[in-house]
């Protein structure tokens, strides 16, 4: 249980700090995509109840399977996808969330169920 608690707090802290940084509210989130094995074994309502996901309408949460494998296949087989991926890669910014001023407070709050 402790490992889940720590992982849940880290994931949710990242979400919250990203929302703070970008000024996006829960109401403005169009969709949340859950990928990989994790997405196959979690229920949306349960994830929201324990605080893993923000409080948004359940229909905005989608399971997308093995996104890494699907994305790699798309890039290998389609030049347009490759171009789009390259453009997106140029826009990505790495953020070390542990260095964010509110990290400790947000992380501590997110440890609660």
Q: How many domains does the chain have?
A: 1
Q: How many residues in the chain?
A: 113
Over residues 64-104, the pLDDT tens digits come to 999 999 999 999 999 999 999 999 999 999 999 999 999 99
What's the pTM value of the predicted model, to 2 decimals? 0.85
- Exposure on the CB side of residue 21, measured as CA atoms within 13 A: 16
Question: φ, ψ for residue 63 (rounded to 5)?
Answer: -95, 130
Q: Residues of 76-106 as b/e, b for ≥16 C-beta within 10 angstroms?
A: eeeeeeeeeeeeeeeeeeeeebeebeebeeb
Over residues 36-64, the pLDDT tens digits come to 887 778 899 999 999 999 999 999 999 99
The residue segments making up the domain with residue 13 are 2-110
């Amino acid at each position: 249980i402790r490992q889940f608690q720590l992982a849940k707090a880290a994931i949710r802290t990242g979400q919250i700090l990203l929302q703070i940084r970008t000024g996006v509210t829960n109401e403005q989130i169009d969709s949340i995509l859950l990928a990989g094995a994790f997405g196959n074994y979690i229920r949306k309502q349960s994830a929201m109840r324990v605080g893993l996901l923000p409080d948004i309408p359940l229909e905005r949460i989608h399971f997308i399977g093995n996104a890494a494998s699907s994305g790699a296949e798309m890039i290998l087989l389609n030049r347009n996808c490759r171009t789009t991926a390259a453009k997106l890669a140029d826009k990505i910014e790495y953020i070390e969330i542990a260095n964010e001023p509110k990290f400790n407070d947000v992380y501590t709050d997110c440890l609660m169920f």
